[in-house]
Structure formats: structure tokens, C-alpha cells
Amino acid sequence: MLILYILLLFAGIGAFLLSFVAQYRFAAILRSRYPDQWKIISVPDHGKPSGIRTWMRMQHVLRSEAPVLFDDAQLSAWQRRWRIAPRIGWVCWFVAIAIRYFAAH
């Protein structure tokens, strides 16, 4: 049971890390293949650009259905990974918590 508990914890960490990697890969593909659309995300309408502002705009793009309009299989795949990875991570962690709870009682 201990091995399953530890595996679930590490699987959860891996899933959360995958969501960050997916966002990075999505941005890298968007930057290289679609530079004009990337400028819409990275260059603010007013004020100076900042990493937080770009990250927030990227979150809006990833949550929207805009990536489907590119008809790019890699972009869609990384968006799917970005969406599903945190859910898998939370499930792994909640199951690990349940294992620990029921093992103690």
C-alpha cells in the first residue's frame, strides 16, 4: 500500500509538471509557426509587456477554443495535455489522501 501511495504522489507531481511543459510547448509552437498571432498574446495593447501579463493572456487562449482555429494537430494535442494533466494530478493526490486516511482508520 505504501508503494501505491508513493507512486500516486509522484504521478500527481508528474501530471502537474506536464501541465507546465504543455503550456511552454504550446507557446513555443505558437511563437515559431504563428508569429503574428503570438504578437497578439505577447504585446499588450497599452503599457509595457510583462511575463505575468503574457502568462495571463496565454491562459485565456488555452482555455478558449481559439487553438482549434489553427487546425494544427500539435497545438491541439498540447492544449489537450494542458487541460487534462492537472485533473489527473488532482485525482492522483486525492486517491493518495484517501489511501492514507483509510490506512490510518
pTM, whole model, 2 decimals? Answer: 0.86
The pLDDT of residue 45: 79
Domain boundaries, the chain: 2-104
Quick: pLDDT tens for 10-68.
Answer: 999 999 999 999 999 999 999 999 999 999 888 887 878 888 989 999 999 999 998 88
Cα 63 from Cα 73, distance rounded (Å)? 17
- Helix 51-63 × helix 35-42 angle, to 10°: 120
Give 33-40 contacts, CB < 8 A, sequence gap 24+.
33/72, 34/70, 37/70
The pLDDT of residue 48: 82
